[in-house]
């Protein structure tokens, strides 16, 4: 019996030493400490032995069992530690390495200009109004003094959905909508200053400076004492904020069906300070927007009384401003989603 125990222990030691990983160690454990282990067989066979023999063999067998258990536990710890170390090594992070740049997207140049214009006007009390791109003929044309048959609503210029619905040709549709809404309120004060921006549509052939879809910001200030002098201040203030503080503006008489008087607004060239350069075509001035005082006809068409109220209005082409500000000479750049082009605006305004 004692011999058998020695053999078992030797065999166990051999197998323990040759186990190369957790799986093999599990096998050794199963073989030497399970129900069917040779050690258990010996204990079972002790029934036939004498009392003295049982005591002696029992004691020895127990020692062997403790030794096997302890050695197995120690080896398991060794292997588990080795596995953990391997894992830690693989997941090691060197915090002293430099960081890797994340490739963030950029704001679109048109959005940059819209944000800038929105800031300028909301800071002086204008509200932002959401508009609709699919508009009733009524608000896009009729209420803006563009009755049926007016040349500006010619089939060549406008996308018609049906006889009564068009893709808006300007953001001024929002002015008509707001005026009509204001005229119907019971509130005593019918004053409001608002801007609205978005896409507008014309049946244009696309080229370097024209697109069938482009963006506008339209604004108005409606009140009891709104004058042409207010309009002039608003336009100059906007240009100085948009370009630089030293620019001046120049007004030229013009015609729009919904304003009287109507003016084209030029800004003194912000690149050459009015001295003459390629950007301003040597004239020192750059044409940037159209504006005027809303005419009586339009006030009445939208339910307002031109005797007690007046309104200034302006419309700005976003692409035109963006092209001037960023020195872009092809309008198609805005719509091509070329990331090399867009990436140039990554740090604008920082």
CA distance 326 to 318: 12
Is residue 286 a contact partner of residue 324, using CB atoms and an 8 Å limit?
A: yes
Shortest spacing between CB 244 and Zn ion, in angstroms: 13
Phi and psi angles of residue 188, each rounded to the nearest 5 degrees, phi first? -65, -45
- Least distance between Zn ion and beta carbon 282 (Å): 7
Q: Which is nearer to Zn ion, 46 or 272 (CB)?
A: 272
Q: How far apart are CA 132 and CA 177, in angstroms?
A: 10
Could you tell me the smallest distance in angstroms from the CB atom of residue 335 to Zn ion? Answer: 27
Distance (Å) of CA 105 to CA 153, 225, 318: 39, 46, 21
Residue pair 322/86 in contact by the 8 Å Cβ criterion: no
CA atoms of 322 and 211, how far apart (whole Å): 14
To the question of whether residue 115 is assigned a binding role by annotation, the answer is no
Judged by beta carbon, residue 70 or residue 282, the one nearer Zn ion is 282
Comparing CB distances to Zn ion, the nearer of 25 and 280 is: 280
Closer Cβ to Zn ion, 236 or 271, answer by number:
271
**Position closest to Zn ion via CB:** 269
Chain residues that interact with Zn ion, rule: CB under 5 A: 269, 271-272, 277, 279-280
CA-CA distance, 33 to 41, in Å (whole number)? 11
- Nearest distance, CB of residue 246 and Zn ion, angstroms: 13
Closer residue to Zn ion (CB): 22 or 277: 277
Query: Which residues, 6 or more positions from 215, have their beta carbon under 8 angstroms from its beta carbon?
Result: 110, 114, 197, 198, 199, 200, 317, 318, 319
Q: How far is the CB of 104 from Zn ion (least distance, A)?
A: 34
Annotated binding-site residue numbers: 260
Annotated binding-site residue numbers for Mg(2+): 260
């Amino acid at each position: 019996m004692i011999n058998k125990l020695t053999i078992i222990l030797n065999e166990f030691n051999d197998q323990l030493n040759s186990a190369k990983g957790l799986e093999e160690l599990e096998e050794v454990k199963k073989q030497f400490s399970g129900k069917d282990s040779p050690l258990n067989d010996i204990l079972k066979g002790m029934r036939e032995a004498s009392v003295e023999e049982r005591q002696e063999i029992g004691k020895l067998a127990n020692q062997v069992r403790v030794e096997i258990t302890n050695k197995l536990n120690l080896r398991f710890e060794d292997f588990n530690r080795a596995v953990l170390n391997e894992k830690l090594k693989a997941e090691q992070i060197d915090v002293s390495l430099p960081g890797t740049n994340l490739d963030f997207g950029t704001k679109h140049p048109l959005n940059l200009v819209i944000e800038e214009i929105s800031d300028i006007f909301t800071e002086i009390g204008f509200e932002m109004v959401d508009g609709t791109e699919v508009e009733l003929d009524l608000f896009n044309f009729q209420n803006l003094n563009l009755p049926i048959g007016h040349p500006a609503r010619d089939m060549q210029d406008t996308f018609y959905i049906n006889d009564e619905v068009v893709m808006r040709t300007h953001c001024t549709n929002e002015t008509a909508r707001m005026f009509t809404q204001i005229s119907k309120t019971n509130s005593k004060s019918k004053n409001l200053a608002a801007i609205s921006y978005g896409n507008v549509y014309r049946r244009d052939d696309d080229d370097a400076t024209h697109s069938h879809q482009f963006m506008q910001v339209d604004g108005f200030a409606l009140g009891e004492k709104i004058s042409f002098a207010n309009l002039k201040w608003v336009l100059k203030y906007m240009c100085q904020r948009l370009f630089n503080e030293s620019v001046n503006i120049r007004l030229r008489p013009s015609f729009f069906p919904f304003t009287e008087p109507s003016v084209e607004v030029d800004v003194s060239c912000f690149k050459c300070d009015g001295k003459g350069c390629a950007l301003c075509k040597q004239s020192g001035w750059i044409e940037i927007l159209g504006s005027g005082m809303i005419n009586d006809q339009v006030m009445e068409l939208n339910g307002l009384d031109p005797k007690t109220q007046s309104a200034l209005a302006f419309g700005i082409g976003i692409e035109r401003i963006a092209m001037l500000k960023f020195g872009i000479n092809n309008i198609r750049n805005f719509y091509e989603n070329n990331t090399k082009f867009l990436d140039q605006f990554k740090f604008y305004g920082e």
